[in-house]
Copies of this chain bind each other. A is one copy, B any other.
């Protein structure tokens, strides 16, 4: 463990980059927590002003390393994230945490967990925590998460931990916002490791078997080893399996070391740049799609002509694909 280094001013990162004009963006870049909270709320509300804000902070981002932590319920993720945060803080880095729970309108769990954490880390200016539920993010939880990560990055967090609760499609998309992804496997999983093979296994850079003192933990580790042996993938990186007991502070330093190793591997191999560029490309296409929807498609659905075609489609005299053709701009109709 090293001494906590003095926090560097976020502006130090890009002295050649002009400061943005809106006061809230300037406050955010100076590390102001209230400004960060406010901007994230604007992101969550899909406020129209958020685009220019995000544009103005964009030049000051890209320095934070993003670590995703995901996996099925019961793995002790929250405690693990808390203890990992402590280890990273001890190493001198500032930590942003985004806790995403697509089911939160039901569980209320994220909110409660958030409150507990807030108390634990309340006195530490080097930690900033935000939880997000699915509400108000119809189809855009991953985008909202990516923008929130950028806010934490801009305010000077060196590492951003993205914790996703649950294992559905939305969680996979959220996990895709990370540079390195740790998948936390609960020991004693009903159907064994085989049951969680699909989807989540492919995104794992590191496996964590938390609750390593559980009687089933070694079984999970050996199942994972078998699985990795069957799917070597031919890559240069073989996901390590890290055993932790977060409640007893066991294995967290090892996990942090593995994350750093993976980060170095990504940087060295050019894979970090590649992954980030793929994400950026997806984001650009999403922005373009939203703009086309808002400025081309939606206005065309507001015409009398469209209402008439919709009525014909409802009466089964046209089909949805034909009507879609009619609202497309020239040059974008089907090639058949």
Q: Does A191 contact B (CB under 8 A)?
A: yes
Q: Does A17 contact B (CB under 8 A)?
A: yes
- Measured between C-beta atoms, what is the minimum distance from A59 to chain B in Å? 5
Interface locus among A87-95, A167-175, A204-212: A167-175
Residues in B neighbouring A277, C-beta threshold 8 A: 310-311, 314
User: B169 to A137, Cβ gap below 8 A?
Assistant: yes
User: B196 to A105, Cβ gap below 8 A?
Assistant: yes
155-171 of chain A: CB within 8 A of chain B: 166-170
User: B134 to A169, Cβ gap below 8 A?
Assistant: yes
Interface locus among A221-229, A234-242, A287-295: A287-295
A114 to B60, CA, bound (A): 51
Choose one: B166, B170, B320; the contact of A58 (CB below 8 Å): B320
A292 to B288, CA, bound (A): 10
From known contacts A72-B106, A108-B195, A200-B105, infer whether A332 and B291 are also in contact, taking CB-CB under 8 Å: yes
Q: How many copies does the complex hold?
A: 2
- Measured between C-beta atoms, what is the minimum distance from A278 to chain B in Å? 10
The size class of the interface chain A forms with chain B is: 35 or more
From known contacts A280-B320, A314-B280, infer whether A296 and B170 are also in contact, taking CB-CB under 8 Å: no
A324 to B310, CA, bound (A): 30
From known contacts A288-B297, A289-B293, A313-B284, infer whether A166 and B103 are also in contact, taking CB-CB under 8 Å: yes
A105 to B105, CA, bound (A): 23
240-298 of chain A: CB within 8 A of chain B: 273, 276-277, 280-281, 283-285, 287-289, 291-293, 295-298
165-209 of chain A: CB within 8 A of chain B: 166-170, 173, 191, 195-200
Choose one: B273, B281, B284, B323; the contact of A284 (CB below 8 Å): B323
A selection of 27 A-B contacts at a CB cut-off of 8 Å is A54-B319, A54-B321, A55-B319, A58-B319, A58-B320, A61-B316, A105-B197, A105-B199, A106-B198, A135-B198, A166-B168, A168-B168, A168-B170, A169-B170, A276-B314, A284-B323, A284-B324, A285-B297, A285-B301, A287-B320, A287-B321, A291-B332, A291-B333, A292-B292, A292-B296, A292-B329, A295-B334
Query: A residues bordering B, Cβ < 8 Å?
Result: 14, 17, 51, 54-55, 58-62, 72, 102-103, 105-108, 134-135, 137-139, 141, 166-170, 173, 191, 195-200, 273, 276-277, 280-281, 283-285, 287-289, 291-293, 295-298, 301, 310-311, 313-314, 316, 319-325, 327-329, 331-335
